[in-house]
Amino acid sequence: LDANCTATLPNYTPLATTGNNCGVQTVTQSPAAGTSVSGAGNMTVTLTVTNINGLTNTCTFTVTKVDNTPPAIVCKNTTVFIGNTGTYTLQPADVFNATASSDNCSGALTVTNIAPATVSCAQLNQTIPVMVTVQDGSGNTATCMAQITVQEGSALPIGWSSNNIGNANGAAGYKACSSNGTFAVSANGFSTSSSDVLHFTSQQLCGNGEIIARVATVSGGGWGGVMIRENLMPGAKKVTLKTPLTSVVRREIRLVTNGAASILNFNRPQHVWLRLVRSGSTFTGYTSLNGTTWSFAFSATVSMAGCVQVGVFAESINANTTTTATFSNVSVNGFSNNGLTNGLPDIQMVAEQDEEVRIFPNPTTGEVTIDLDIHAGKPGTIQVFNALGALTIQERLVAGNPETHRLNLGGPAGVYTVVIQLDDRRIVRRVVVDPNGGK
């Protein structure tokens, strides 16, 4: 078939071997030689032999119409947005312009390869070439180059929700590529009663646990902070640490539903790291200059349900001003509590200085070696959780394995929790991932 998907049918009559006791008169072909045919695929051709007395016989065979012309394809130049995992998998619609592309035989065009297939924070704010391979219905391929601009989306991490508490008219977004992930939360409105008016970005925590966050910016003269509250109602029991990024850090506690909140201010210049820890009905607050050395702020007893909401929030100071707070290095860790757990490792029960298990290098660009030492050969599992508490990797340890295990943590930069569950022991390590190697 030619570029128009047509061909002229050849004369196949010389292929016939004929014979007759009284003599052969003619051999004819159907469809006749010279007929224009189109469309890839098979067709049937019939040869008919006639003897001098008009008696006939026929044979048939298959002719395959072959399309060997590659499709004419056009790539797209477009913008994609990195999601909450720090990566984005390119889709055919992102890179291939199906409407502007064509094939000589009008067969369906399929994108068979996109290279690279994914983009990540490493390509943020860049325009990168992407090779696209397309195949027609006959297996002919063609390639083109798409130019893809990589930007950052604002979808919240899996398991997190954005909630107006009271009439806050707020919003929240998340960017995975900076400072181990950055939340931006905005709110306006103000309450003159005991009810809250704020915007809260949170996930559910069942049992004991903690939230840690660095308050990066607060605009509009309001507050940004961390909070554990019983539910999303304006008058719910709550424990809060917040700051306007002056020298003040404020603690707020509501002991009873719809009751007034108890307020206490601390003079802590440059303490931009905030931490709340729940252990049963005991809530403890800490602040820090650097996220490593923590200063005790308060401890309080508040009776809350087993499952609560924990997260970061923004709060305005009046009804006409919007306050936007940004938070980096946000992490939520769950601790075991009489069977109530949100699936995260019990980091309180395991010593970090167990030399029988080592993970190296740490920090790493992504791949680590786990040295199990005397635990080698025991069955178990390895789980990896990111800083927001999502399970990213789960692998089995089969009895008889060697004492070292290679693991590719992958994902964006951040602190990951590695949980090694053996038949007689649970071991937890924290590993810092920096894909850029500190550059």
pLDDT block averages, 10 residues each, the chain of length 439: 93 92 91 93 95 94 94 95 89 95 87 95 94 93 96 89 93 86 92 88 92 95 96 96 96 95 95 94 94 91 94 92 94 58 36 60 87 69 78 75 76 80 74 73
Torsion sign over Cα 175, 180, 186, 191: positive
Distances from the Cα of 204 to the Cαs of 156, 174, 235, 307, 350, in angstroms?
14, 17, 18, 7, 24
Return the structure tokens found at 348.
Answer: 């309180």
Return the structure tokens found at 139.
Answer: 């297996």
- pTM of the predicted protein model: 0.63
**Which pLDDT value is given to residue 346?**
37
Which residues of 117-207 form beta strands (DSSP E)?
118-120, 127-135, 141-152, 161-165, 171-175, 182-187, 198-206
Phi, psi (5° rounding) for residue 15?
-75, -15
Residues paired with residue 142 on neighbouring β-strands, in sequence order: 134
Q: How many CB atoms neighbour CB 124 within 10 A?
A: 16
Among candidate residues 331, 320, 355, the one with its CA nearest the CA of residue 274? 331
Return the structure tokens found at 299.
Answer: 């401890």
**Which pLDDT value is given to residue 429?**
81
Identity of residue 380: G
**Which pLDDT value is given to residue 54?**
92
Torsion sign over Cα 257, 258, 262, 268: positive
Q: How far does CA 127 lie from the centroid of its chain?
A: 21
d(CA 13, CA 15): 5
Region for 5 from its dihedrals, namely left if φ exceeds 0, alpha if ψ lies in -120 to 50, beta otherwise: left
Count CA atoms within 13 Å of residue 359 on its CB side: 25
Phi, psi (5° rounding) for residue 123?
-105, 10
Residue pair 9/32 in contact (Cβ under 8 Å)? The answer is: yes
Among candidate residues 245, 242, 209, the one with its CA nearest the CA of residue 226? 242
Among candidate residues 148, 105, 142, the one with its CA nearest the CA of residue 130? 148
Return the structure tokens found at 210.
Answer: 């903690």
Residue pair 416/430 in contact (Cβ under 8 Å)? The answer is: yes
Residue pair 423/379 in contact (Cβ under 8 Å)? The answer is: yes
d(CA 395, CA 69): 47
